[in-house]
Structure 1
């Protein structure tokens, strides 16, 4: 089941209705449930506002507010005493000043309109997602499998297509929402900082930098390609990105190599190949720096600074990655033959 994108956007004519219902659900959740329920209630109310015609144009505001929480409670087993938080159906409805039968009726109407069911991945609270087996079932070669048991590259494809809520092991609160990070635009500054062939050229050209923009759903290979172009290189060589350590060649660095390095790549074993690693999965932060090593032997070393992370991509139709600024002359790839 593909997850649906949630938002609080509503048509202008429904904004007053959305605000009225959300004010009731917000107060109720603050007093008796939690912020997860409050946020999910706002998403569900907005989705109902976007229906054409919207059912919320008819009936009492408190009835719909109670129905929204009742429907979410149905999905997340709110009425099970073993759950935290938990409520009785009667207690929930009393909180909105409606009868239990009214609350159940509105809940049923909402669930039918939104195709909601118990364990529904689209309406499961984030904190309960790990325990929701339906959120992780995907079909691979005609067989239903739990995505959590699949290799990382299959998990990434399933995530990109919206079949699973996040990549297992990469939903570490309070980190940013993975869908948001994936859709972010990263502005990166790359500077040549050293290497045998670079020393003389860098000495005479102290600042050689390029600024590029790249989307979170693009890969380290895409970043390499735009840097290759930005520095006017002519011949491909092996390359590697190093992150999270104290600097280039720090043994604590996470290392991501080009797949062309092959099985003969020296130990220690790299943490991944650049063609598979999405920028948005690296947990980069503004102000962070990491290393880019091009050509194992001639050793062109670069420092890449994370200038900004914009969410979402300001120009989704723009062509990324792209070069937006150049500083200093590009060094010849082979200075001794230039």
Structure 2
């Protein structure tokens, strides 16, 4: 069995707080391959000192930075496509707009296929870390609270043989954790 150290970095949204220029806000969590994305969500919720539950979603990206599948929270899981299918003209426009002209034909064709035929969304409550194929995973995008849009980038920092007894384990925080809700009086 494998234990992964995940780095969860707070993204630029929502722009409700002003950390020192260039200062990262992140936390590290140990999780083993048997834990689910729902358990990862709960660990992030605690690590970032949140108290009011909201909707969330994960999106897996490969080593080329291409979105490969979305994972809905169990209460919202419908088995729908990960994203709406795109028409060929939309796909080609997307390739040109993101500056992917230098990518290999194989990468562009993979992108075309994923956009024409999106994979079925996964259920975060049933998807284990092992099912994400961590060795092939580039990173995860995690969005919490679709109103305030808290964005996070999750990367694998380390892995080792072993297992955890119980829940994922919080390791450390770096930077000022902003409050879940901005106090306009401040």
TM norm structure 2:
0.69
Provide the aligned C-alpha RMSD in A. 2.8
| Counterpart residue number, 1:192 | 10
| Counterpart residue number, 1:329 | 176
Alignment check: 8 A CA contact 1:187 1:212 kept: yes
| Counterpart residue number, 2:68 | 253
Q: How many residues align?
A: 149
Shift of 1:334: 1.1
Shift of 1:335: 1.1
Q: State the structure with more CA Rg.
A: 1
Shift of 1:258: 0.2
| Counterpart residue number, 1:273 | 123
Shift of 1:286: 8.4
Alpha-carbon separation, structure 2, partners of 1:287 and 1:255: 13
Alpha-carbon separation, structure 2, partners of 1:336 and 1:319: 35
| 3-state SS of paired residue (2:126) | coil
Alpha-carbon separation, structure 2, partners of 1:204 and 1:235: 28
Give 1:279-298 correspondences, 5 Å limit: 279-285=129-135, 288-298=138-148
TM norm structure 1:
0.40
Shift of 1:329: 1.8
Shift of 1:270: 5.0
Q: 1:202 to 1:289 in 2, by over 3 A?
A: farther
Name the one with the larger helix percent: 1
Shift of 1:276: 0.4
| Counterpart residue number, 2:51 | 234
| 3-state SS of paired residue (1:194) | coil
| Counterpart residue number, 2:32 | 215
Please list every run of 5 or more consecutive structure 1 residues that lacks an aligned counterpart in the other structure. Answer: 1-182
| Counterpart residue number, 1:301 | 151
Alignment pair present for 1:206 and 2:53: no
Give 1:14-33 correspondences, 5 Å limit: none
| 3-state SS of paired residue (1:244) | strand
| 3-state SS of paired residue (2:7) | strand
Question: Which structure exhibits the higher relative contact order, with contacts defined as CA atoms closer than 8 Å and separated by 6 or more residues?
Answer: 2
Name the one with the larger strand percent: 2
Alpha-carbon separation, structure 2, partners of 1:332 and 1:224: 17
Shift of 1:253: 3.2
Deviation string 1:10-64 (CA, Å, 9 cap, x unpaired) is xxxxxxxxxxxxxxxxxxxxxxxxxxxxxxxxxxxxxxxxxxxxxxxxxxxxxxx
Alignment check: 8 A CA contact 1:189 1:211 kept: yes
Alpha-carbon separation, structure 2, partners of 1:294 and 1:270: 21
| Counterpart residue number, 1:71 | none
Alpha-carbon separation, structure 1, partners of 2:180 and 2:157: 26
| Counterpart residue number, 2:162 | 312
Alignment check: 8 A CA contact 1:286 1:309 kept: no
Q: 1:287 to 1:273 in 2, by over 3 A?
A: closer
